[in-house]
Amino acid sequence: MLFCSPTRPGSCADITPARELGLVKLLAEGPAVEILADAGYQGLGAQTGGRVVTSPHRKCKKKAPDWYEEMHERQRKAHSSRRLRVEHGIAHLKHWRALARHLGRREHMDTTVQAIAGLLSQQQTADQILARQT
């Protein structure tokens, strides 16, 4: 998990908090790593020098030729296959009871997510160390 933004009232596009909190600038100036993002971050790749890779944008929506549809579907599936590990990481967070059945106040949700992300990271590190020792 790279980024957990604070909760906000109402609905908001995924990319908006990333821009407001300076994540775009951090990614553009940071190390050259490839980040696999979902369609909610479309356009972030151009702002970060190609570091953020999103699913392909459909340029031809009406009456697209068959070859374009096939190409778009191949690109979409390739991105989805690469991003599967990211989705599994998000799923690990959601399996924790505190997030699966969150009954608390919304103002505390971001703190809960960050705490669980930290615990999950610690747990995965411990699992890796144990795997190396055996």
Residue 78 falls inside a structural domain = no
pLDDT in tens, 97-112: 777 776 667 777 778 8
Residue 53 falls inside a structural domain = no
Cα 16 to Cα 77: distance, rounded to the nearest angstrom: 26
Q: In the structure, how many helices (H) and strands (E) does the chain have?
A: 6, 2
pLDDT in tens, 87-96: 888 888 777 7
Residue 114 falls inside a structural domain = yes
**Domain tally for the chain?**
1
Residue 36 falls inside a structural domain = no
Residue 133 falls inside a structural domain = yes
- Torsion angles phi and psi, residue 80, rounded to 5: -60, -40
Residue 45 falls inside a structural domain = no
State which residues form the domain around 120. 98-134
Residues of the chain with pLDDT under 70: 1-2, 102-104
Cα 109 to Cα 100: distance, rounded to the nearest angstrom: 12
Residue 37 falls inside a structural domain = no
Cα 113 to Cα 5: distance, rounded to the nearest angstrom: 9
pTM of the prediction? 0.65
Residue 103 falls inside a structural domain = yes
